[in-house]
C-alpha cells in the first residue's frame, strides 16, 4: 500500500482523539539533532472543523482486536485497514517537521495481537525517532492499557506526554459499550505513570543529569454524550483525576455518531455546546479555584445551556455581589463573570497606582457586558438592573440574542480549549541583543 493511502486511513481513524496540545515541555535541541519543543506549544494550522493542528496525529494501525461500540475502529466495522512500519512513520514525521508543518508526533494505535505487542511497536517507533533521527520535537504517546509496565516505562523516557483514554465516564457506560474494558484496567497504567513522574521529579532535584520522564505530564479524554452520564458525573471524575493522578488535561470529546447500535444514542449532530460548557467548567477547576460541587450538584446535575458555568454560579450566589473592583482580593476578582485571570492580574497591578474607573476596566480587557451586573467601581454600580437574579438573566439573554442575530448561530462556540494552551508568550521571546541595534 502507498504511504499516501496509509496516511489517509490512519489519520482519518485518529481524528476523534481531540487532544492536540504540544505544550508543557521545553526539550532542547541537541548538537546535530533536529527539533525542540516550545513551552507554550505552537499551532501549525487549523483544519476545516476549526481545530488546531499542532501534531501529526495518527494511528500506528487501525487493526483492532476490541469491539468497543462507540469506536470507528472496532473489529466488526467494515473499514479499510492499514499499518505503518516504524521506519515509515519516523521518516514521515521528520519530513513534515523539516517543512514546519508540525510540532511533533501524536502516536496512538488500535490493539494488534495483544497490548504488549502493540506497545512494543509504539516504543520502537519513538526510539527510532529519538535515537536514530536525533529528533527532539514533541512526542505524545498513548499508553496501551494492559501492556506491561516495563514497556510503558521505557516509552515514557522518550515521550513528552503520555495519555490513557478513559473515554466512557462510568463503569456502567463501559459495560454497555466496551464490555472488554473496565475502569480498573485504565486507571492502572495511569497510576503507574503518575508515580513514575513523581519519582522522576525527585530524581531530577537530586541529579540534574537524570533523564526526564514524561515532562509534559499525562492527559486523558472523556466522550460526552455517548452514554447518559450527567455533567456532574463527568466533572467530578475529571476533578478527581486532577487531584489523584495529577493529570495536566482532561479532554472532552462530543460524541460523533460513527456507527449505529441499540446501546448508542441516536443523534445526528455532536453535542458541541455541552462539550463547550464542560471545557469552561474544566477551566474553572484548573485555574479559578472552583470545585465541581460549587458548580453543579445532585439537584442540578447538568449545565445551563444559556449561561456559562461561572455566570451560573454567580447568579446562584448573588449574596456575594456586587464586588468592589478596587478592594476585592484576587481570589474573588477571578470569580466575577467577565473577568479572567489576565484582567484580574492587570486590575491588581493597576490598583497600586490609583483607583480604577469603569473606563479603565474596559481598557484592561474585562468583558463589561457580563461583569457590570456584578461589580462596583469606586462604589458606583453600572449594572442598571440591580442585584436581582431574574432581571440580570433577562439582560444577559437579551445581549446574547442580539449578538446571535448579528453573527448568526453557532459562532460563540469558540473551541479555545483545543489550542495548545497559550502560556505567556512574552517570556519566550528573544531578548533584544546586539544584533538588532
Partner 1 sequence: MIYYIYDGSFEGLLTSIYEAYYRKDNPLKILSINNYQRELLVEYIHIETVPEKAEKVYNSIRKKISVKTLQNVFYVYLSEFDDIGTLIYQYLRYGWKIGRNVDLHISDDRVSTIHNIRRKVTREIHFMLGLLRFKELKNNIYYAEYEPDYNITALIAPHFIERLSDQNWVIHDIKRGIGVLYNQKEWVVKDINLESDLEFSKDEIFYQRLWIKYFDSIAIKNRINPKLQKSNMPMKYWKYLVEK
Strands 375-377 and 323-324: parallel
> What is the pattern of x (binds partner 1, CB under 8 A) and - over residues 388-417?
----------------------xx-xxx--
Which is nearer to partner 1, 78 or 435 (by Cβ)? 435
Q: How far is the CB of 263 from partner 1 (least distance, A)?
A: 20
Which is nearer to partner 1, 49 or 78 (by Cβ)? 49
Contact 126, 155 (CB under 8 A): yes
Per CB under 8 A, the segment of 44-52, 63-71, 204-212, 216-224 that binds partner 1 is 44-52
Among 14, 214, 224, 278, binds partner 1 (CB under 8 A): 14
Which is nearer to partner 1, 56 or 328 (by Cβ)? 56
- With CB under 8 A as the rule, give the number of residues binding partner 1: 73
Q: How far is the CB of 96 from partner 1 (least distance, A)?
A: 7
CA dist 426 and 432 (Å) reads: 12
Among 42, 111, 284, 334, binds partner 1 (CB under 8 A): 42
Q: How far is the CB of 317 from partner 1 (least distance, A)?
A: 29
435 binds partner 1 (CB under 8 A): yes
Among 71, 152, 235, 364, binds partner 1 (CB under 8 A): 364
Among 272, 367, 387, 423, binds partner 1 (CB under 8 A): 272
> What is the pattern of x (binds partner 1, CB under 8 A) and - over residues 146-185?
----------------------------------------
- H-type alpha helices, 352-388: 358-364, 368-371
Residues in 52-111 that interact with partner 1 by CB under 8 A: 52-54, 56-57, 92, 95-96, 98-101, 103
Q: How far is the CB of 409 from partner 1 (least distance, A)?
A: 11
Cell of 277: 460548557
332 binds partner 1 (CB under 8 A): no
Q: How far is the CB of 100 from partner 1 (least distance, A)?
A: 5
Give the SS3 label for residue 97. Answer: helix
360 binds partner 1 (CB under 8 A): yes
273 binds partner 1 (CB under 8 A): no
Contact 371, 311 (CB under 8 A): no
341 binds partner 1 (CB under 8 A): no
Q: How far is the CB of 416 from partner 1 (least distance, A)?
A: 9
Which is nearer to partner 1, 260 or 352 (by Cβ)? 352
259 binds partner 1 (CB under 8 A): no
**What is 183-194 written as a DSSP string?**
HHHHHHHHHHHH
For every residue of the chain, which 3-state class applies, written as one string? CCHHHHHHHHHHCCCCCCCCCCCCCCCCCCCCCECCCCCCCCCCEECCCCCEECEEEEECECCCCCCCCCCCCCCCCCCCCCECCHHHHHHHHHHHHHCCCCCEEEEECCCCCCHHHHHHHHHHHHHHHHHHCCECCEEEEECCCCCCHHHHHHHHCCCCEEECCCECCCHHHHHHHCCCCCHHHHHHHHHHHHHHHHHHHHHHHHCCCCCCCCCCCEEEEEEECCCCCCHHHHHHHHHHHHHHHCCCEEEEEECCCCCCCCCCCCCCCCCHHHHHHHHHHHHHHHHCCCCHHHHCCCCCCCCCCCCCHHHHHHHHCHHHCCEECCCCCHHHHCCCCCCCHHHHHHHHHHHCCCCCCHHHHHHHCCCHHHHCCCEEECCEECCCCCCCHHHHHHHHHHHHHHHHHHHCCCCCCCCHHHCCCCCCHHHHCCCCCHHHC
15 binds partner 1 (CB under 8 A): yes
Among 175, 246, 327, 363, binds partner 1 (CB under 8 A): 363
Among 33, 153, 264, 286, binds partner 1 (CB under 8 A): 33
Among 208, 260, 319, 352, binds partner 1 (CB under 8 A): 352
Per CB under 8 A, the segment of 222-230, 288-296, 319-327, 418-426 that binds partner 1 is 418-426
Q: How far is the CB of 309 from partner 1 (least distance, A)?
A: 21
305 binds partner 1 (CB under 8 A): no
Q: How far is the CB of 362 from partner 1 (least distance, A)?
A: 10
Amino acid at each position: 500500500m502507498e504511504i499516501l493511502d496509509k496516511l489517509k486511513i490512519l489519520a482519518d481513524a485518529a481524528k476523534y482523539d481531540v487532544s492536540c496540545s504540544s505544550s508543557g515541555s521545553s526539550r532542547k535541541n541537541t548538537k546535530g539533532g533536529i527539533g525542540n519543543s516550545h513551552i507554550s506549544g505552537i499551532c501549525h494550522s487549523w483544519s476545516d472543523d476549526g481545530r488546531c493542528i499542532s501534531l501529526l496525529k495518527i494511528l500506528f494501525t487501525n487493526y483492532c482486536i476490541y469491539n468497543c461500540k462507540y469506536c470507528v475502529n472496532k473489529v466488526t466495522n467494515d473499514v479499510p485497514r492499514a499499518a505503518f512500519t516504524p521506519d515509515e512513520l519516523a521518516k514521515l514525521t521528520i519530513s513534515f517537521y523539516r517543512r514546519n508543518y508540525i510540532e511533533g508526533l501524536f502516536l496512538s494505535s488500535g490493539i494488534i495481537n495483544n497490548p504488549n505487542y502493540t506497545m512494543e511497536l509504539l516504543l520502537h517507533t519513538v526510539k527510532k525517532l529519538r535515537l536514530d533521527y536525533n529528533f527532539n520535537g514533541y512526542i505524545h504517546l498513548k499508553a496501551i492499557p494492559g501492556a506491561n509496565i516495563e514497556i510503558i516505562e521505557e516509552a515514557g523516557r522518550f515521550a513528552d506526554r503520555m495519555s490513557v483514554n478513559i473515554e466512557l465516564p462510568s463503569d456502567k457506560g463501559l459495560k454497555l459499550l466496551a464490555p472488554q474494558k473496565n475502569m480498573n484496567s485504565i486507571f492502572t497504567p495511569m497510576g503507574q505513570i503518575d508515580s513514575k513522574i513523581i519519582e522522576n521529579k525527585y530524581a531530577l532535584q537530586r541529579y540534574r543529569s537524570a533523564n526526564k520522564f514524561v515532562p509534559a505530564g499525562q492527559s486523558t479524554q472523556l466522550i460526552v454524550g455517548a452514554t447518559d452520564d450527567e455533567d456532574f458525573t463527568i466533572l467530578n471524575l475529571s476533578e478527581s483525576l486532577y487531584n489523584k493522578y495529577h493529570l495536566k488535561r482532561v479532554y472532552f470529546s462530543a460524541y460523533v455518531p460513527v456507527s449505529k447500535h441499540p446501546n448508542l444514542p441516536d443523534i445526528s449532530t455532536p453535542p458541541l455546546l455541552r462539550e463547550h460548557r464542560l471545557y469552561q467548567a474544566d477551566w474553572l477547576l484548573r485555574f479559578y479555584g472552583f470545585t465541581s460541587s460549587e458548580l453543579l450538584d445532585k439537584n442540578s446535575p447538568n449545565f445551563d445551556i444559556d449561561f456559562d458555568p461561572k455566570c451560573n454560579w454567580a447568579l446562584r450566589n448573588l449574596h456575594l455581589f456586587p464586588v468592589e473592583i478596587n478592594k476585592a482580593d484576587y481570589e474573588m476578582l477571578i470569580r466575577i463573570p467577565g473577568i479572567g485571570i489576565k484582567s484580574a492580574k492587570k486590575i491588581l497591578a493597576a490598583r497600586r497606582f490609583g483607583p480604577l474607573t469603569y473606563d479603565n476596566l474596559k481598557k484592561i480587557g474585562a468583558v463589561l457586558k457580563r461583569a457590570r451586573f456584578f461589580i462596583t467601581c469606586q462604589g458606583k454600580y453600572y449594572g442598571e438592573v440591580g442585584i436581582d437574579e431574574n432581571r440580570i438573566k433577562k439582560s444577559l439573554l437579551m445581549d446574547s440574542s442580539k449578538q446571535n442575530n448579528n453573527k448568526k448561530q453557532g459562532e460563540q462556540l469558540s473551541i479555545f480549549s483545543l489550542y495548545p494552551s497559550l502560556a505567556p508568550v512574552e517570556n519566550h521571546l528573544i531578548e533584544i541583543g546586539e544584533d538588532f541595534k
